[in-house]
Amino acid sequence: MKKIGLLLPKSTYYSTIGFDLFEGLKSNLKKIGSEDLKIVTENIGFGADKQQCYRSAEKLLLDENADLVIAYIGHRMAELLRPLFLATNKILIVLDAGANMPQEWSVCPNIIYHSLHNSLGAFLSSKLAVKKGYKTGGMITGYYDGGYLQTYSLSKSFENEGGKICFNHATGYKEEDFTMEPLSDYLNSYPDSAFLSLFSGDYVQWYFEQIKVLFNDTNIPIFLTPFGFEETMLKNVICPSNNIHGIAAWSKNIINPENKVFIEEIELLGKTPNIFTLLGWEGAELVKKVLFLLETNTNNISKVVDDLNEFQFKSPRGLITFYSKHNQTISPLYEASILPDDNGKCSVKINTIIENTDQHFDDLYSQELEGVTSAWYNSYVCI
């Protein structure tokens, strides 16, 4: 029996993240006829402890003899694990939020990246703001969300399109330190500015609540990245504006057969489908393909990666393709809006699919990172 190693994170405000990834992976392995695989798990906490991540990966490879390993980690942590996977001639599939810039993603034949593309979503969200006529804007982030290089992709894109960042506001990471009051003064100085926003988890709720209090019924233009559209967080949040737009990675409102099946299968387990069950679900497709190619190519990793060049599959997000230039899958992104439902709470509306996502990814990759740095090793949303 083949063994799959799974490095699972934890998060204080996505408390079920590890279970969601596991259930998504397990459910789709069963659906696609690969349920005979044994899944062995190791906990890696928030994904920031280098020694813990290394030891856990080493245990899966050496003690458990896993045929491949899946991990929800950042690209920096994946780079630290690179020598281990090269030495053991095994493949690491990184399930990633995509919160940093792709220049940090070194291409290694033993590491495959599958992402939610938050940084690319930030890049496109700023373009959307300019497209809708906003030439001035402010970058608004939480303390944690703003620690990743997605802040650079958001601001650089706005400037590249002719916009000007006129103010920046970062909040504390605890609710008692979370305030939006300075935004009133910023808007007095720079009226008609777009709020280019980077938030995830509970921070989205706190953000919207304070925007509602400060700017009630003024329809502040808010632009969000994919994690801002996470529906399990939005469903209980008061919608603060009728002018909320951005880029979504996934929504239950995407209409295709794969999304319908995914939602039904996860709900049959008594779970709520979210971006993490989705990521695990899609990971099953990669597992099946990689294991097949490993057997076909007698564990020749270079040949496995070469054969992945033509690999693609239909997911709840749409058609996912493999981009050999970066050992990276490219997934659909969607232009979306948030509107109030009948109870005034937030609901996601999918407007249109983004065309030529791979070209946008190349545009993001070509941005020069001069004087830009981030110290975070945590897996994104794992604090």
Residue 253 pLDDT > 90, yes or no? Answer: yes
Residue 319 pLDDT > 90, yes or no? Answer: yes
Q: Give the whole-angstrom CA distance, residue 222 versus residue 207.
A: 11
**Could you tell me which residues come within 8 angstroms of residue 31 by beta carbon, excluding any fewer than 6 positions away?**
261, 265, 284
**Per-residue pLDDT, 22:** 97
**What is the residue type of 22?**
F
Q: Give the whole-angstrom CA distance, residue 331 versus residue 321.
A: 7
Which of 17-21, 159-163, 177-181 is least confident? 177-181
The single-letter DSSP state of residue 354 is P
pLDDT tier, 105 (very low <50, low <70, confident <90, very high otherwise): low
**Per-residue pLDDT, 103:** 66
Domains of the chain (ranges; CATH) run 3-117+254-330 (3.40.50.2300), 119-248+333-365 (3.40.50.2300)
Two tokens, residue 98: 């995509």
This prediction has a pTM of 0.96
Comparing CA positions, the residue from 225, 173, 235, 170 lying closest to residue 205 is 235
Residue 35 pLDDT > 90, yes or no? Answer: no
**Per-residue pLDDT, 324:** 83
**Per-residue pLDDT, 111:** 95
Percent pLDDT > 70 in the chain is 99
Contact 91, 109 (CB under 8 A): no
Which of 105-114, 118-127, 155-164 is least confident? 105-114
Residue 104 pLDDT > 90, yes or no? Answer: no
Residue 147 pLDDT > 70, yes or no? Answer: yes
Comparing CA positions, the residue from 79, 68, 123, 134 lying closest to residue 105 is 79
**Torsion of the alpha carbons at 29, 34, 35 and 37, rounded to the nearest 10:** -110
Comparing CA positions, the residue from 225, 217, 171 lying closest to residue 196 is 225
Residue 102 pLDDT > 80, yes or no? Answer: no
Residue 262: exposed, middle, or buried by beta-carbon count in 10 A (0-12, 13-18, 19+)? buried
